[in-house]
């Protein structure tokens, strides 16, 4: 299967502190790749380096066959990033937010108007298009955040903990939309510290802790690292065995 994104010895240091340590991952086209780990594991830092929000200390990132730093404008136009921190403007209406971010990719006129409505409809906010984002609930803001990132039809969608602090109904809605986007052809990277989310939607999972990948594979492959009978162990127990941490620790 074609590799859409690859990191080689990706490292980020802040002074003497190593946040991401010689990270080597491959994301295959068409998969939902889960990056599972506690807060502070280095997940968001890794995603920010892939999106060129912050610069790596060392290492390289290849995206769609090219060095992302050497082909920044071209390659970043094929990527959609839904950050952990909301990237919407409260004093803009829902449609204005989507139009603002989508227009950054050179989309204009009637096509832009259509994409705005299609994106809002996709996340279930078309009937709220004229409402100000600051008046939205937490779940609605998260959905609007997604609408702002998908209008240019990216090949790779990065979701960095998109369900933090929202209600179960909104969480389920977002997870279903991620699977729907994947079925339509988008490759997905999904970072989370919610075990059940990663297990529910991801085709392959990497466990990250202290800036390192501890193990990676399908859910079944990860379980086989610990026991022969995978029916007798949960992914949570695998995580505990490999990292020495429980879910309640983070």
Residue 195 confidence (pLDDT): 84
Beta strands 3-14 and 26-28: pairing type? antiparallel
Query: Could you report the per-residue pLDDT of 141-185, keeping only the tens digit for each?
Result: 999 999 999 999 999 999 999 988 888 888 899 999 999 999 999
Separation in Å, CA 224 to CA 106, 177, 219, 230: 48, 30, 9, 6
Residue 228 confidence (pLDDT): 73
Question: pLDDT band for position 246 (50/70/90)?
Answer: low
Per-residue DSSP letter, 133? G
Which of 3.40.50.300, 3.40.50.1400, 3.10.110.10, 3.40.50.720 is the CATH number of 3-78+154-245? 3.40.50.300
Mean pLDDT of 44-59: 93
Give strand ranges (E) for the chain. Answer: 3-14, 17-23, 26-28, 32-36, 58-63, 66-67, 79-82, 156-160, 187-192, 204-209, 212-217
Per-domain residue ranges of the chain: 3-78+154-245
pLDDT-wise least confident of 104-108, 128-132, 222-226: 222-226
pLDDT at 89 over 70: yes
Q: Is residue 50 within 8 Å of 61, Cβ to Cβ?
A: yes
């Amino acid at each position: 299967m074609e590799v859409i994104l690859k990191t080689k010895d990706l490292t980020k240091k802040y002074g003497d502190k190593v946040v991401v340590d010689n990270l080597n991952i491959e994301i295959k086209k068409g998969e939902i790749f889960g990056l599972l780990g506690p807060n502070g594991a280095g997940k968001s830092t890794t995603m920010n380096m892939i999106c060129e929000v912050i610069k790596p200390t060392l290492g390289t990132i290849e995206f769609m066959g090219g060095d992302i730093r050497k082909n920044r404008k071209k390659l970043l136009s094929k990527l959609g990033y839904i950050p952990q921190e909301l990237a919407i403007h409260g004093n803009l209406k829902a449609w204005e937010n989507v139009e603002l971010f989508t227009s950054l990719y050179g989309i204009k006129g009637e096509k832009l108007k259509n994409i705005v409505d299609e994106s809002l409809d996709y996340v279930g906010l078309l009937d709220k298009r004229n409402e100000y984002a600051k008046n939205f609930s937490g779940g609605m803001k998260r959905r609007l955040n997604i609408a702002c990132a998908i209008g240019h039809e990216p090949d790779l969608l990065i979701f960095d903990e998109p369900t933090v602090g929202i209600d179960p109904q909104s969480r389920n809605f977002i997870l279903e939309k991620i699977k729907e986007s994947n079925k339509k052809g988008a490759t997905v990277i999904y970072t989370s510290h919610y075990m059940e989310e990663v297990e529910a939607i991801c085709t392959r999972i990497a466990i990250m802790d202290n800036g390192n990948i501890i193990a990676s594979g399908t859910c079944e492959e990860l379980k086989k690292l610990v026991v022969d009978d995978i029916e007798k162990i949960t992914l949570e127990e695998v995580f505990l065995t490999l990292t020495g941490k429980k879910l309640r620790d983070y």
